């Protein structure tokens, strides 16, 4: 009952109804930006849903509750940013779950989980990612940046979710050069080979409200001068 109440608060009554009443299908349904897509618990369904949302100019993805979306391969070359497990976010996309996780499968090749692109990275991109009660884990950007999430010119907002056990050169958990906001989230157990084990703020702004950033190596947060580290 508490989980349902939290869903009502986070998504609104109509979205909860869509999440609970929409039967699972082999592939996510195509939707306009104003519609919500229920995404069955599979790698292919999540990849298809992100592609569909980007093609539609944005969208709201209702991820399966208590599901772990295990990514076995990269689904974006990532360009200069390196490969990413999901297609790059180039439009406004929300992903809402309930104890939902998106992770790189054990034994999979190295890739970050998500790249969010804005005009400074890709002139035609306007990526804005909103995550609610979704955890990102086990990303590996190698010598690239942002093992969990690389925010390259877009914006990222995380509520009641987090990034864990991910790796990169800068920003083992999250790398950002524009806007990052986290509310009641966590960034834990991430590793950077150079700086910013948890979060690396290259530019832009970082706002952390009631968010736990701890247990990251070699440090929890770092920033490019003259910016101040957010934690």
Domain boundaries, the chain: 35-223
Q: Is the pLDDT of residue 25 over 60?
A: no
**pLDDT band at residue 81 under the 50/70/90 scheme:** confident
pLDDT, one tens digit per residue, over 153-199 is 999 999 999 999 999 999 999 999 999 999 999 999 999 999 999 99
- pTM exceeding 0.75: yes
- DSSP letter string, the chain: -HHHHHHHHHH-HHHHHHHHHSPP-SSPPP--TTSEEEE-SSHHHHHHHHHHHHHTT-EEEEEPTT-EEEE-S-SB--GGG--BSS--B-SEEEEEEEEEEEEEPTTPPP-BSEEEE-TTTSTT---EEEEEEEEEE--B-TTSB-SSEEEEBSEEEEES-EEES-EEEE-SSEEESSEEEEES-EEES-EEEEE-SSEEE-SSEEEEES-EEES-BS-SEEE-TTSPP--
């Amino acid at each position: 009952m508490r989980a349902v109440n939290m869903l009502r608060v986070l998504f609104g009554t109509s979205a909860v109804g869509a999440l609970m009443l929409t039967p699972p299908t082999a592939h996510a349904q195509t939707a306009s930006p104003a519609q919500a897509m229920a995404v069955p618990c599979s790698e292919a369904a999540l990849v298809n849903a992100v592609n569909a949302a980007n093609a539609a100019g944005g969208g709201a993805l209702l991820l399966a509750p208590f599901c772990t979306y295990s990514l076995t391969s990269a689904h974006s070359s990532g360009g200069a940013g390196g490969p990413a497990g999901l297609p790059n976010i180039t439009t406004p996309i929300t992903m809402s779950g309930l104890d939902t996780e998106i992770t790189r499968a054990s034994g999979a090749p190295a890739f970050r989980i998500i790249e969010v692109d804005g005009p400074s990275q890709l002139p035609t991109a306007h990526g804005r990612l909103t995550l609610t009660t979704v955890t990102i884990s086990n990303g590996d950007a190698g010598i690239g940046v942002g093992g969990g999430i690389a925010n390259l010119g877009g914006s990222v907002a995380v509520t009641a979710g987090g990034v864990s056990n991910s790796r990169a050169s800068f920003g083992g958990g999250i790398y950002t050069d524009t806007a990052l906001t986290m509310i009641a989230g966590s960034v834990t157990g991430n590793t950077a080979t150079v700086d910013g084990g948890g979060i690396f703020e290259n530019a832009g702004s970082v706002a952390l409200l009631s968010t736990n950033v701890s247990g990251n190596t070699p440090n929890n947060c770092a920033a490019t001068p003259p910016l101040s580290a957010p934690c």
